[in-house]
């Protein structure tokens, strides 16, 4: 029988010091780290995502970093499956687990869970794939049957349209009715969550410093490479740090304006992250970085 492992999460806004703290704690409690960062998941998006250094990644085994290419689809379902694999590995290797990052929506998905999909046999799967050749017709069909559910899905979102159509064909229920009949179940229960509380002025200074470091480390070259390899079409290419560089390359702003826009937009993101962390989680231990260090170390 596997020995139960300890799981904890460290959250906070971007540039608050989460990664450094997680590595220190992981070294102390013999843990692996699972990143919940919507950009670090992608290979080659390194400077923009402010990933841990190669040395840091080698010092502690990390997951959720460099898992996909920039043009590959990423979703909550993919993240939950990744968590399950990492949890199983931790159990087998007797390691604890630290979940860390700024995209707390993924942490919330572990706490709230997802509804199980209906049984989908090969015949239904094949039939749906044929239907999806006419994506717009599939979208219109689903929207007419279940406007409540489909109003939140883009007509071009082939992944979510396929999922909705599979549910519709396999269960005989519109997605809204199916999810009401099959509510989600938590993936994790009783998780200790530690939130880094940062003053706005201090955070803005940290963001400015990080943005300057990113620019000096080759940010523009990285974005040029990503655009050449993947074009501007993938969802990942609409991220803060990439959009502003593309505007600079298009002559829409100067390099100084580009840097200032990255800092401003990152500060806006940090504010939204702080609001989410404050309102969406219960029983969170929230404190300044140095206080959390004393508490956890």
Domains detected in the chain: 7-112+187-296 (3.40.50.300), 122-181 (1.10.20)
How far is it, in rounded angstroms, from Cα 148 to Cα 176?
A: 7
Using the predicted structure, report yes or no on whether residue 205 has a pLDDT greater than 70. yes
Check if the beta carbon of residue 107 is closer than 8 Å to that of residue 38.
Answer: no
Please state, as a whole number, how many other Cβ atoms lie within 10 Å of the Cβ of residue 119.
8
**Residues 280-290: pLDDT tens digits?**
998 899 999 99
Using the predicted structure, report yes or no on whether residue 2 has a pLDDT greater than 60. no
Residues belonging to the chain = 297
3-class SS at 65? Answer: coil
Q: What is the mean pLDDT of residues 223-234?
A: 97
How far is it, in rounded angstroms, from Cα 253 to Cα 249?
A: 8
Q: What is the mean pLDDT of residues 208-218?
A: 97
3-class SS at 11? Answer: strand
What is the model's pLDDT at position 3?
Answer: 63
Using the predicted structure, report yes or no on whether residue 1 has a pLDDT greater than 50. no
Q: What is the mean pLDDT of residues 122-135?
A: 96
3-class SS at 290? Answer: helix
What is the model's pLDDT at position 189?
Answer: 86
How far is it, in rounded angstroms, from Cα 282 to Cα 76?
A: 21
What is the model's pLDDT at position 190?
Answer: 86
- Percent of the chain at pLDDT > 70 equals 99
Show Cβ contacts of residue 183 under 8 Å, excluding neighbours closer than 6 positions.
Answer: 115
Put the strands of the sheet holding 7-11 in their side by side order.
62-63, 31-35, 96-101, 7-11, 192-196, 285-287
**Residues 36-84: pLDDT tens digits?**
999 999 999 999 999 999 999 999 999 999 999 999 989 888 999 999 9
Write down the pTM of the prediction.
0.87
What is the model's pLDDT at position 114?
Answer: 87
Residue 85 pLDDT level (bands cut at 50, 70, 90): very high
Please state, as a whole number, how many other Cβ atoms lie within 10 Å of the Cβ of residue 285.
13
Check if the beta carbon of residue 113 is closer than 8 Å to that of residue 186.
Answer: yes
How far is it, in rounded angstroms, from Cα 68 to Cα 143?
A: 31
Q: How many CA atoms lie within 13 A of 165 on its CB side?
A: 25
Using the predicted structure, report yes or no on whether residue 26 has a pLDDT greater than 90. yes
Q: What is the mean pLDDT of residues 177-200?
A: 94
């Amino acid at each position: 029988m596997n020995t139960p492992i300890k799981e904890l999460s460290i959250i906070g806004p971007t540039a608050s010091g989460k990664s450094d703290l997680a590595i220190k704690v992981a070294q102390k409690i013999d843990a692996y780290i699972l990143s919940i960062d919507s950009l670090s998941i992608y290979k080659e998006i390194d400077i923009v995502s402010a990933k841990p250094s190669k040395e840091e990644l080698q010092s502690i085994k990390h997951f959720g970093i460099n898992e996909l290419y920039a043009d590959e689809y990423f979703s909550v379902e993919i993240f939950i499956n990744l968590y399950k694999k990492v949890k199983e590995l931790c159990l087998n290797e007797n390691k604890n687990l630290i979940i860390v990052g700024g995209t707390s929506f993924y942490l919330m998905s572990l706490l709230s869970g997802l509804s199980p999909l209906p049984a989908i046999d090969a015949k239904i799967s094949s039939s749906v794939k044929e239907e999806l050749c006419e994506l717009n017709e599939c979208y219109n069909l689903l929207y007419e049957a279940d406007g409540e559910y489909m109003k939140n899905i883009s007509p071009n979102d082939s992944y979510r349209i396929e999922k909705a159509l599979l549910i519709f064909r396999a269960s005989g229920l519109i997605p809204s009715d199916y999810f009401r009949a099959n509510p989600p179940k938590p993936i994790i229960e009783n998780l200790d969550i530690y939130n880094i509380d940062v003053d706005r002025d201090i955070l803005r200074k940290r963001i400015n410093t990080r943005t300057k470091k990113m620019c000096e480390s080759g940010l523009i070259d990285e974005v040029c490479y990503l655009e050449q390899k993947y074009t501007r079409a993938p969802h990942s290419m609409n991220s803060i740090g990439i959009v502003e560089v593309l505007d600079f390359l298009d002559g829409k702003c100067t390099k100084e304006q580009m840097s200032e826009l990255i800092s401003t937009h990152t500060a806006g993101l940090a504010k939204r992250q702080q609001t989410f962390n404050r309102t969406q989680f219960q029983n969170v231990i929230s404190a300044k970085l140095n206080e959390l260090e004393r508490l956890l170390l």
